[in-house]
Every structure is written in structure tokens, then in C-alpha cells.
Chains A and B, each alone.
Chain A
Amino acid sequence: MAEPLLTDREITRLHRLRLAGARVVRAAARGERLSRQLGAGQEFAAHRAYARGDDLRRVDWNVYGRLGQLFVKLFEAPGRLRVLVAIDNAPTMDFGASSKWLAARRAAAAAAIIALGGADRIWLGTLDSEPRAFEGSAESRILSALAELQVSARPARAAPAWMPLLASGGTDTVLLLFSDLQQVDVPLGLLRECARQGARAMCLCVHAPEELSPKMGGYARLNAPGHESLKLRIDARVIDAYKAEVARYREAAAHAAAATGATYLDISSDAPLDPFLAALSRRGLLASRHG
């Protein structure tokens, strides 16, 4: 029996977290204060100037008494936030003594469980597959679904199933994209579409330590997925050149992801969940469920 992606201890800890500010949107374009999703909910959120057709029952007469102007009260709408968890299952993800594929799925599982804690709806899947929707107490099904995901034999050429989801969700959508960005076309396309739809996106770039600092030497036939095998005598000069080249490439990929407005986060496959959660927290994406 395969090892579970997350231990019970980790799951318990994740239950204490929730996505923070996931529904905050920008309203500056309409002169409104920053508010949550505004609507006819029970919790006051903000004021806005009265306009013809507004419900007079929502006019804040106290403000009118102080200021002599009509303002209507806005309340937080109880809408549902959509979290899209997309995992790049390119063959390069299946690499490393500490597998990148496993690390990506563990991080995705953690994000999904956190999102479920906020009673959000979650869409989860690989780039080249149809995403599955989860909501409510779907924690075990999410974990099972993640455990069943497989690395593809070839990189995804497109993400056709994810585009409609982004288009239909609008600003009420958060995309979490797990990838090693070694094939950047599809992931970056997804991030750009996310930005175009006004959704928030986060690119979580997974790498294995031996990818950045390989320990090898001598005569080798290098077999890289998607490339012809390469016969090369590897020495310190070659390793140094490789490291520099990889560093340049990763930097360029990070810039490209950031240019789409997405938040970029680097994940090492041999690192535990804590640094990943800490990074999410530093970026204001996590909050304690009771605080």
C-alpha cells in the first residue's frame, strides 16, 4: 500500500489554517473602499454613494444625518471562492531522490485541505486532464485523487480543460499551479489566462536539489525526457557551466511567471511542508482559522 501523501499530524495542522483574503478584490476603479465581496449579506462591509434604483432600505441614515449625503450600506456577500489546483505532470516532474512529483502533490494536497477548511470549492487535476471538483468534506477524496495522478509520458501541449474554468470564475478564482517550469509554454499560458480573467494565481515551482547541483562525473550518456540522449564527458568545467545555465533559465522562468501577475514560490523537493506553508503565510495567503 502506497504511503499517504500527508500524515494525520500534518492534516490536523492544516485544519487550523484557512485561506486569508481570498475574496478581497480591487474596487478602486469604482471609487469604492477595498471591501470583501459586497452584496446583501449579514455582515457590514462598506459604504457607497446612493444611486438611482438602490434599495432605500439600505441607506445609512446616520451618515446622512452627519454628512447630509445619501450612502448605502454594503454587506459581505456569502459567495463561494473557487480554488483551482493544477499540477504539471510533465515527465521531468518524476525526478530526484526526493521526487518532485511527490513534493508537488503533497503541497497541492495541503493547499486543497486548507481551501476545503474555508468551505470553498476546489478544482483539482493535472494540466492535460479534466479537473475534478471537490467541495464540502471531500478531504479523503482529494487525497485519493491526488494519489492517483500519474506523470505523463510527454509534456502537456495545452490545458484546454482549465481555460473555461478560469473564464467562468472571474475574480472569484485562485489558481495554484504546481510545475517545474521546464516546459513553460502551457504553465505560462495558464497564468496569463488567469491574469486576463482577473483571477489570482500562484506559481509554485518545484525543483530537486540534484537538478541544481548535480553530482556526477566521467563519461555519461545523458537521457533527458523530451531530448535526444547526449554523450558527454562530465568534469568540473561542464558542471559549472550547467549550474550557471540552469540558474539563468530558472531566473528567466520566475520573471516570466511574475510578469503575469502571479505569485512565484520555489519549492525544493526534499523540503518538508513547513517552509511551503510559511512562504504562503508570508505572502498573506494563509490565516489562522480562529484568529
Chain B
Amino acid sequence: MLEFAHAHWLWLLAFAVALYAAYLLARRFRPLRVTYGHVWHSVARKLRPPGWKRLLRTLLTWLVAALILSCTVLFASGLQRSTNDLPAPLLVAIALDCTPSMAATGPDGISRLEHGHNRAQQIVDALGPADRAIFYHFEQGRPAGTGWLSVGDRLPALPALDFYQPDLDSLEGAVRAWTKPQAISATAEPVRFIWWLSDQRPARSEIPAPARLSAVGGTWCQTGGTPLLVETFGHPAANDGISSVRLVPGTDGSGPVLEVSTRNGGQLVHHPPLPNSNAPAADGSKGRFRLPLKHAREVGVVRMAKPDALALDDSVEYRLADSRLGGLTFWHPPDATEVNPYLVAAIGALLPGVPELARPSENGIVVMDRVAPATPVCRAAVCFGAIPATWGRLGEPVAIRAGFQQAAKAADFDLPDLSLLSAAQVWPLVDSALTPLLRDPAGNVLLADGMLNNVRVLYCGFVPHLSTFLNDQGEVSGLLLLMRWLQAVQAPRDFGIPPFLGPGQHVTLRLPTPGPYLAERAGSATPATTGPRAFRLPAGTAQLGPFAQPDTWNIFDPAGTRLGTVAALWSDDQEQAIAFTPLSKADLQGLNPASSHDWRDTLPHGLLYLLLGLVLLEWLLWLAGVTE
């Protein structure tokens, strides 16, 4: 049967009737009285098309009219099947379970979710002409559906996993509240049911299939007043996976420790490999690991050693807050007598526990005494009278007397009184992006601070053993500056962002401005406005979590600066178990058995297409001049 997406426009067909009436009116032969009849007959004999052309046109016109009349009579006489003869139309809610266990893949490498999605498309393709369906997925447990789908429509893309349990009762309520689509006959009462595509049978009582759908088979359950047909996809499989991760802060100078638990005693791998350790250390209990992060790296990944059916719980990425400097490297001129022992002693005293003269590391500090490497590898650098060429350039040395220099700008630490510093030769900094801390009366930058290529840099134009930087007579101004700067480097602003948040957990942040702040999944191409959430601080605090989507989340301030990273952990024994309940498949052919087709369903189509063809043929023949 013909169906229309916007049936209310069908009234425009009345214009077609009016047009046809006008056409017939224009084609009528109006009686006219004339004289010279023999002349008119003579003219007609000469000019009028031959009789067969006029006959052909007449026949076609009459044939078209006869078909129109036939269609009208056939419908008026009720030749089409009554609604009692037709199978009741179906209204199907195709609901796809989006819980994490549906992400488990089988031997074919296809996830249960993809199998279910493909099956949903098959169901839509098997619908009858009068049947309609809505495809549902779940967002935080709530059903989210498409518009009405009919046979041949394409489903939306594969939905995202939902870490909340689906609310089938809400779905049943939505199905019950459906209003019948306009395309369905007013007299036909459709059969509503839910087609549940999952990997387990829901905890509902089993019922027999509705009479209309007895040929479909499958497993039917009761959900409220709506039948629910269950189909499952997957294979039984074991799943290891990380069930918990906890960061234990270090004590007595020792580094922090990651405590990781796995399911089924699965083995772990840490990336990058931990220093001084070839493998994660087990504490003796199966499936529990302590990972000492003695030299904590900023980014790390804990991963299951063997992949399994559910990759979702196989790894956790973390970003630890920058806390302590991990090494100390001195650069000085080759002449050993030039080494300032006070400087070595002072830095060593200010960084207790940091191995002195270690090899350069990304977590260490480099002290440059008049000599600078081309590309320092470090987290912080103190430059005395020298700076790498990529960071800036030095001017000609100037003489600085005590009491003449002036602090230029406050940094994120308190500046001590540096006015007593003096030296016969001080190398000012030019052409640099660092923030000036101290200038001489001529405006030369004597001290500067800032971030260059992710390295916190303190430039000091005073060379320790050629100035009063470390041993001025009145106060220890330079030493105090160095101490406060190192504290600032080692103790970044703490907003209270933890490295891990467990399932359902949240934390209160101490954020300086009202925001809005933004949480984005690390490495996700998802735009910032979806999935992640923005949060605002009315009084300087905000709650972070719980996260609906376990992943690594970056927290950004309003200026777009990353404040920290939190790994939202996922642990759900039931879902991680990826249990599977095999159930019998439903027969799609049973939705609309072939025997229900009737020749009367196609007769109007045939007549209509024949009619259109004849009208077209008549016009073409007339345009070609074949007919009159």
C-alpha cells in the first residue's frame, strides 16, 4: 500500500482533479454555427490529421479516464482488504543494551554491542510496510530513542557505552505512552512490544509470545504491560582486568606507591617501565600489586599483561602532580677552581634527598654556572650568567652597586629584598620571554623567572662567586630568593585534584576563580561541550565527579590551562564478569509472514502506475505530433 510521510498534503490532489476538469473543459468541442459548410469540410479534409491519429488520442484519453474510474470504483466498492484481513501493524521498541559488558568481543573480533546494533538494523529491514520502530539506547540508564523508523531506514551510528544500568521500566513506560503514527490506519490497533538486545536475560518472568508474533519465536518476558522479546549476543569468556587503583603517598622521602588490584589474578605491566624494577611487585596476595613510584613520572599507564575479551578494564592511565625534583645537575666551566663550593652547598642544602650531580632527567634541576647546554633536559633550571641560546641572549656586563636596583615584578613566590646585591660584573638578560624580577636604574634585567619549553627557569645575572648573591653582608638575599624559588618549583599550586577517583566517588576542589572549569576526556576527539562537563564555582569550591564515563579526564581553567588530571576508575564486578546467557534467536520472517500478502494489496499500485504511464504516453505522443 502506498504510504505518505506527510499525508496531510494529500488534499493537494484536489488540484489535480481541477486541472483534469479544466483540461477536459478546454478539450470539449464547442458548437459553432457557420456558413460555407462545404468550404469548412474541404479545409478539414486538407488539414485535419488522419483518422487513426485522432482515434489513438481518443482511445488513450478514454483509457486513462477508464482507469481513473476503475480505481475510484475499486476503492469505493471496498475491493481493498479490510483492516480485519490485514495483520495488525507492529510498533517495536528496539532497545540496545549499552552496558560495559556489551563491549566484550568474541572470537570474531566484533563486540556484543556491534552484534546487537547489526541485529537492530536487520529488524528494521524486516518490518512490514505498516510497521514502525524506534531504536533506543541508554544514557546514564535512561532510554534515548530515535524518531519513527520504517522499513529501509538506516539506524544511527553505534551508541556509546553507558556505565549505568538500563532502566527497562522507563523504557516500558515510554512505549506505553507512544501515540500511534499517522501512517497507521485509524482502525488498526498496532501490537507494541520491546525487542531487547543484550547479553543477558533480564530478571523478568517469562511469558508466551503474543498471538500476532507467535511465528517470531524467541524468549518473551513481561515488562509492565508490554511484552519484551529478548535476544542475546556474545560468547562465554573469562575477563581479567583492573578492579581498583590507589595512590599511596610516600613517607620519609620515599616515593608514592600505586596499589593495584586485578580480577582473576591477572598480571600487570607498567608503562613506562619503572626505574630499578623490571616487573610490578606483588605483595604476596594474588591479584594485588604495589607499584613503588620512587621517581614518579608525570604520566604513566598500568596495563593488563594479556588482552582479553573486555578491553575496557585493561588499563588505567594516570598523571601524578609534579611534586619533587628528581635530580641535580651542575654545569660549570672546565676550570675546577672556578666551582663555587658555596653554590653547591647551598643548592644541596635546599634540596634535601635529591641526588647530587645525577645525570640529566626530565624531573631534575640543572644549575648553570656561566656555562649553558644547548638543550637542557630538566624540569627546572637556574642560570647564573649564562643561558641556552634558545631561551635568550645576554648583554654586556654592567657594574651594580648595592641599593640601586629595583624589583620589577612579583612572581608566584615572595621576593626578598634584593637591593643589597652588588657585583663588579653582572650579565643582564635581553631578548627573552622570562618575567623580569629585578632591574638596574638603566632598565637592564638582572633577575628573571618564567616557563620556557615546559622548564621553570630562574635567570640570575649575578655570578655567585663574583657577587654578593650568596654572601651579601647585610642579609642572605640571594640565598633567600633561591630557596623561595625552589619551593615554588617543587610545590605547585594544589587544587586538590586527585590522581584517581573511584566509581561513584567525588572530590571537592579548591579553585581560585568562579570558572567555568572544563573536564575533558584525555585523548578523546569528543568536543568539549559533549560528554565532559563544565562546572562552576560559586564560592571557590567545586565537586569533581562522580564521572559517568570512566577515563582519564583533564581539568582546565577558564583560560584553557590544564590544572590537573584525574583518572576516573571503573569497577563493576557484574559487568566485568561479562556474563552471557545464550537464548534462542527470533525469526525475523515471523514478523510479517509471507502468506499475509494479497493480490489486492498490489492492484492499486498496478492501476496507478499503468495510469501514470498512459498519461505520460499520451503527452509524449501529442508532443511528438503523432496524435492530434
Contacts of B47 in A (CB 8 A): 237-238, 241
Given contacts A230-B44, A237-B47, contact A249 B39 (CB under 8 A): yes
Query: How many Å from the CB of A125 to the closest CB on chain B?
Result: 23
Check: B473 CB closer than 8 A to any chain A CB: no
**Do A231 and B29 touch across chains, with their CB atoms under 8 A apart?**
yes
**Do A245 and B42 touch across chains, with their CB atoms under 8 A apart?**
yes
Check: A226 CB closer than 8 A to any chain B CB: yes
Query: How many Å from the CB of B23 to the closest CB on chain A?
Result: 12
**Do A223 and B33 touch across chains, with their CB atoms under 8 A apart?**
yes
With the chains together, A218 CA to B26 CA distance in Å? 8
With the chains together, A231 CA to B34 CA distance in Å? 12
Check: B277 CB closer than 8 A to any chain A CB: no
Contacts of B46 in A (CB 8 A): 241
Interface residues of A in 225-252 (CB under 8 A from B): 225-227, 229-233, 237-238, 241-242, 245-246, 249
Given contacts A220-B32, A237-B47, contact A245 B39 (CB under 8 A): yes
Interface residues of B in 409-436 (CB under 8 A from A): none
Check: B401 CB closer than 8 A to any chain A CB: no
Check: A182 CB closer than 8 A to any chain B CB: yes
Contacts of A222 in B (CB 8 A): 32, 34, 37, 40
Contacts of B28 in A (CB 8 A): 219
Given contacts A232-B40, A232-B44, contact A95 B29 (CB under 8 A): no
Query: How many Å from the CB of A145 to the closest CB on chain B?
Result: 26
Contacts of A231 in B (CB 8 A): 29
Check: B31 CB closer than 8 A to any chain A CB: yes
Which of B27, B31, B41, B43 is close to A238, meaning CB atoms less than 8 Å apart? B43
Closest A residue to B36 by beta carbon equals: A246
Interface flags for B100-129 (1: CB within 8 Å of A; 0: not) read 000000000000000000000000000000
Interface flags for A208-225 (1: CB within 8 Å of B; 0: not) read 100100101011111111
Check: A128 CB closer than 8 A to any chain B CB: no
With the chains together, A211 CA to B42 CA distance in Å? 15
Given contacts A227-B41, A232-B44, A238-B47, contact A219 B30 (CB under 8 A): yes
Check: B35 CB closer than 8 A to any chain A CB: yes
**Do B31 and A232 touch across chains, with their CB atoms under 8 A apart?**
no
**Do A242 and B43 touch across chains, with their CB atoms under 8 A apart?**
yes
Contacts of A249 in B (CB 8 A): 36, 39
**Do A180 and B35 touch across chains, with their CB atoms under 8 A apart?**
yes
Query: How many Å from the CB of A133 to the closest CB on chain B?
Result: 32
Contacts of B31 in A (CB 8 A): 220-221, 223, 229
Contacts of A223 in B (CB 8 A): 31-34
Check: B38 CB closer than 8 A to any chain A CB: yes
Check: B286 CB closer than 8 A to any chain A CB: no
Check: B356 CB closer than 8 A to any chain A CB: no
Query: How many Å from the CB of A237 to the closest CB on chain B?
Result: 6
Check: B308 CB closer than 8 A to any chain A CB: no
Check: A92 CB closer than 8 A to any chain B CB: yes
Given contacts A227-B41, A241-B46, contact A182 B29 (CB under 8 A): no
With the chains together, A230 CA to B39 CA distance in Å? 11
Query: How many Å from the CB of A85 to the closest CB on chain B?
Result: 23
With the chains together, A231 CA to B37 CA distance in Å? 12
Closest B residue to A242 by beta carbon equals: B43
**Do A242 and B33 touch across chains, with their CB atoms under 8 A apart?**
no
Given contacts A232-B48, A241-B43, A245-B43, contact A216 B37 (CB under 8 A): no
Contacts of B48 in A (CB 8 A): 232-233
Given contacts A230-B44, A233-B628, A241-B43, contact A224 B36 (CB under 8 A): yes
Given contacts A95-B35, A219-B29, A231-B29, contact A242 B40 (CB under 8 A): yes
**Do B35 and A224 touch across chains, with their CB atoms under 8 A apart?**
yes
Closest B residue to A223 by beta carbon equals: B33
Contacts of A224 in B (CB 8 A): 33-38, 40
Contacts of B40 in A (CB 8 A): 222, 224, 227, 230, 232, 242
Given contacts A219-B28, A238-B43, contact A226 B37 (CB under 8 A): yes
Which of B32, B35, B38 is close to A221, meaning CB atoms less than 8 Å apart? B32
**Do A227 and B38 touch across chains, with their CB atoms under 8 A apart?**
yes
**Do A220 and B29 touch across chains, with their CB atoms under 8 A apart?**
yes
Contacts of B33 in A (CB 8 A): 95, 223-224
Interface residues of A in 109-166 (CB under 8 A from B): none
With the chains together, A211 CA to B38 CA distance in Å? 13
Q: Which of A214, A222, A245 has the most CB of B within 10 A?
A: A222
Contacts of B37 in A (CB 8 A): 222, 224-227, 230
Which of B30, B36, B628 is close to A182, meaning CB atoms less than 8 Å apart? B36
Contacts of B35 in A (CB 8 A): 92, 95, 180, 182, 208, 211, 224-225
Contacts of A225 in B (CB 8 A): 35, 37
**Do A211 and B43 touch across chains, with their CB atoms under 8 A apart?**
no
Given contacts A230-B44, A238-B47, A241-B46, contact A218 B30 (CB under 8 A): yes
Contacts of B36 in A (CB 8 A): 92, 182, 211, 224, 242, 246, 249
Query: How many Å from the CB of B53 to the closest CB on chain A?
Result: 12
Contacts of B44 in A (CB 8 A): 230, 232
Interface residues of A in 175-218 (CB under 8 A from B): 180, 182, 208, 211, 214, 216, 218
**Do A214 and B34 touch across chains, with their CB atoms under 8 A apart?**
yes
Contacts of A182 in B (CB 8 A): 35-36
Closest B residue to A250 by beta carbon equals: B36
Contacts of A237 in B (CB 8 A): 47
With the chains together, A238 CA to B628 CA distance in Å? 14
Query: How many Å from the CB of B618 to the closest CB on chain A?
Result: 16
With the chains together, A74 CA to B162 CA distance in Å? 142
Contacts of A208 in B (CB 8 A): 35
Contacts of A218 in B (CB 8 A): 26, 30
With the chains together, A221 CA to B44 CA distance in Å? 12
With the chains together, A237 CA to B49 CA distance in Å? 13
Contacts of A241 in B (CB 8 A): 43, 46-47
Closest B residue to A207 by beta carbon equals: B35
Query: How many Å from the CB of A80 to the closest CB on chain B?
Result: 38
Contacts of A216 in B (CB 8 A): 32
Contacts of B41 in A (CB 8 A): 227, 230
Which of B26, B29, B32, B39 is close to A242, meaning CB atoms less than 8 Å apart? B39
Query: How many Å from the CB of B522 to the closest CB on chain A?
Result: 80
Interface residues of B in 1-59 (CB under 8 A from A): 26-44, 46-48
Query: How many Å from the CB of A201 to the closest CB on chain B?
Result: 24
Query: How many Å from the CB of A173 to the closest CB on chain B?
Result: 30
Interface flags for B327-352 (1: CB within 8 Å of A; 0: not) read 00000000000000000000000000
Contacts of B27 in A (CB 8 A): 219
**Do B30 and A220 touch across chains, with their CB atoms under 8 A apart?**
yes
Closest B residue to A208 by beta carbon equals: B35
Closest A residue to B38 by beta carbon equals: A227
Query: How many Å from the CB of B51 to the closest CB on chain A?
Result: 12
Closest A residue to B37 by beta carbon equals: A224
**Shortest 3 CB-CB contacts between residues of A and residues of B:** A224-B37, A227-B37, A221-B29
* Other A-B pairs beyond A224-B33, A229-B31, A233-B48, 9, CB < 8 Å: A180-B35, A216-B32, A219-B28, A219-B29, A220-B31, A222-B37, A224-B34, A245-B39, A249-B39
| Contacts A/B (CB < 8 Å), 14 sampled | A182-B35, A208-B35, A219-B29, A220-B29, A221-B29, A221-B32, A223-B34, A224-B35, A224-B36, A224-B38, A224-B40, A225-B37, A230-B44, A241-B43
